[in-house]
Amino acid sequence: MLAHFKQLGQKFCDQIQEVSCDMWAPYILVVQACFPKAHIVIDRFHVVKALNECLDNCRKDLRKLHPQEAVFKDLKWILFKRQHQLSDAQNQLLQNALAHSSVLEEMVSLPNQFHSIMDLAKGSQWTTEQLDYWLEDAQLLAITHLEPFVKTLHNWKVHCQLYPKPNYQCRYSAADSIRQTDFFWYTQL
């Protein structure tokens, strides 16, 4: 990718103001090398994916600890959905499971809070403050399943802000066939 972006020329690269990508270190290095004026934004999808992995690990452990408990079956995709998108039957399954596990209940509330922060993002400072509060609350819960995500968000929160900015236009997208992810960059309209 580095060679591809370098061939576009310095003039082109200097106009790129924002790049959205996942947290893979080589992507960050490419952005820093090719687009020195660009602000890096970590794609929200990848941040939520990391949070969902923690939630799924909690679900798996509950299944192992309580193999006879039917309430912990068939939850995976329900847990990943936002609560307002659940059907009545899915919501009932979720509520039954939450009634049997306070840890799961706390874990489920965190993605909803995170989505609210990102949905309401009112600028970098506000978003950073809200993510700091979220991290503080998450750390106070001391849920071991959540620790990998807390570390990830702490390390990347400055890049997890507004995505994309409303007055920016996607000018180009490059797919990385190795990782099968997209790499987008933006210029201001």
Percent of the chain with pLDDT over 90: 29
Span 56-80, mean pLDDT?
92
Are residues 91 and 167 located together in one domain of the fold?
A: no
- Burial category of 131 from C-beta neighbours within 10 Å (exposed 0-12, middle 13-18, buried 19 and up): buried
The pTM of the full predicted model, rounded to 2 decimals, is: 0.78
pLDDT at 187 exceeding the cut of 60? no
For residues 178 and 107, membership in a common domain is answered with no
Answer yes or no: do 101 and 181 share one domain.
no
The answer to whether residues 33 and 61 belong to one domain is no
148 and 55 in a common domain: yes
Residues 11 and 25 in one domain: yes
Expressed as residue numbers, the domain containing 131 is 47-159
Same domain? For 146 and 172 the reply is no
Dihedral over Cα of 78, 183, 120, 145: its sign? positive
Least confident of 18-32, 117-131, 152-166: 152-166
> Quick one: 151 and 175 in the same domain?
no
User: What would the pLDDT profile of 84-110 be if each residue is shown by its tens digit?
Assistant: 899 999 999 999 999 999 999 988 988
Q: Are residues 38 and 100 in the same domain?
A: no
CA distances to 8, 19, 28, 69 from 73, in Å:
51, 40, 39, 8
**Shared-domain flag, residues 178 and 114:** no
Number of domains in the chain: 2
List, in sequence order, the alpha helices (H) in the chain: 2-7, 10-14, 25-34, 44-65, 76-80, 88-100, 102-120, 124-141, 147-156
Give yes or no: residues 61 and 10 share one domain: no
Residues 66 and 143 occupy one common structural domain? yes
What does the alpha-carbon distance between residue 175 and residue 180 come to, in Å, rounded to a whole number? 7
